[in-house]
Amino acid sequence: MTKKRSESNHNQTGMYGLPVDVKFCKRCVISNQRPSSSIEFKNIKGSSKRTIFFDEDGVCEACRFAEKKKTIDWKQREEELKEMLSHYRSKDGSYDVVVPGSGGKDSVQAAYLLKYKYGMHPLLVTWPPHIYTDMGRRNFQAWVNTGFDNVTHMPNQKAHRLLTKLAFENLVHPFQPFILGQKNLAPKISITYNIPLVFYGENEAEYGNPIQDNTKAIRDNSYYAADRRLEEIFLGGVSAKQLMTDYGLTRSDLEPYLPANPHLLEQTKTRVHYLGYYVKWDPQSAYYFSVENTDFYPNVERTEGSYSKYNSIDDKIDWFHYYTYYIKFGIGRATNDAAQEVRNEHLRREEAVLLIRRFDGEFPQIYFKENLEYMGITEQRFYELIDKARPPHLWEQKQGQWNLKHQVS
Ligand SMILES: [Zn+2]
């Protein structure tokens, strides 16, 4: 039986289309401001977000999904996986599956299982971070060292910096160029190398996308494929056409950010799967798995903005990403980490609340200067954009100090 959607989801909306009536999930700690994944190449200034649904009991859909996960027969799912892989496995040892990633714990576990447990022949595909952290570079190397071929597509860095700057200026979303490549590149490599099967590790839908996205093994291709009409594709909030006429970029500069061609995907019969559908998956166990089976290392210290050490640590822009997320939606890195750990029963809700109160929204000082330099933005401009991005239903200013109006308790 599906629970009725909470009325608050449909009531008045504020900036970014967020519900103005702020609520926190009674079971985990996420708020109803959390946006679902969106189709990035359609994202423009003023776009409304779909946000996570809360049911009439005040429980979020990610928690309901976690509940549902407990009833899954994982033995049977593994059988499904084995059966499916048997149709794709190459007999001559040539590549038979594309595994995207940059050497974080999820891609490490996915590649390792596919090769060493299920006998596949993966080709790793990497869309590299904007600016590698030392840990990120090291973990990437450790990943390849466990016995894989890797294709890295390094984009034109001049174009990449410009798009990062535009994404920050227009959308306060500096991580967007990374997300675009992360979703688009692997299906395109599938076409180029004629390897129809693509496997991601975790389904990001676990964190509060529509539950129906989560109940299938295959990723909806609207996230990575579209007719490539340049006036209808937006990067950093600017149409691809305008990037060519007004910003001096060429078609080849833009190529890595464009969605895959659906007709070519059809020809290759590309299918994008999640290993998390077939194998029980959570960030903490992916971390332990990576440490046990490869030379993966966590952050040497607590990650700024959270209490954790191993989530999203390979790109210095990640620190900005979580901070801008906190400004726009009132949800920081600690909330994201804690909500997921409560759902996976690694943390109690009361502990999560304390950790969030302590660390959420901590200023990303460590890579601050480097990130500004990367984007070519002054400190003053940074604060101007940040303060304009604060929705009035979430933030108030008292004596020059910005405070969240609603906090988890
Ligand atoms: Zn929840």
Q: Output the CATH code of domain 74-278.
A: 3.40.50
- The backbone torsions φ and ψ at residue 161, rounded to the nearest 5 degrees and listed phi first, read -65, -40
* C-alpha 35 – ligand 1 centre gap (Å): 14
Checking if the pLDDT of 327 tops 90, the result is yes
Checking if the pLDDT of 205 tops 70, the result is no
Per-residue pLDDT of 3-57, as tens digits, reads 444 444 456 788 999 999 999 999 999 999 999 888 899 999 988 988 999 999 9
* C-alpha 318 – ligand 1 centre gap (Å): 23
Question: Alpha carbon of 337 to those of 142, 307, 331, 371, 394: distances in Å?
Answer: 24, 8, 10, 23, 21
Q: What is the pLDDT of residue 209?
A: 66
Per-residue pLDDT of 183-194, as tens digits, reads 999 999 999 999
In angstroms, rounded to a whole number, what is the distance separating the alpha carbons of residues 345 and 100? 28
* C-alpha 51 – ligand 1 centre gap (Å): 13
* C-alpha 53 – ligand 1 centre gap (Å): 9
* pLDDT over 90, % of the chain: 75
Residues written for the chain: 409
- Strands 238-239, 234-235: parallel, antiparallel or unpaired by DSSP? antiparallel
Q: What is the pLDDT of residue 325?
A: 95
Q: What is the pLDDT of residue 72?
A: 94
Q: Would you list the domain boundaries of the chain?
A: 74-278
List, as one string, the DSSP characters of 192-245.
HHT--EEEESS-GGGGTS-HHHHSSSB--GGGTB----TTS-EETTEEHHHHHH
Per-residue pLDDT of 84-112, as tens digits, reads 999 999 999 999 999 999 888 889 999 99
* C-alpha 337 – ligand 1 centre gap (Å): 12
Reported pTM? 0.92
List, as one string, the DSSP characters of 255-315.
GGGSPBPHHHHHHHT-EEEEHHHHS---HHHHHHHHHHHS-----SSPPTTSS-SSSS-SB
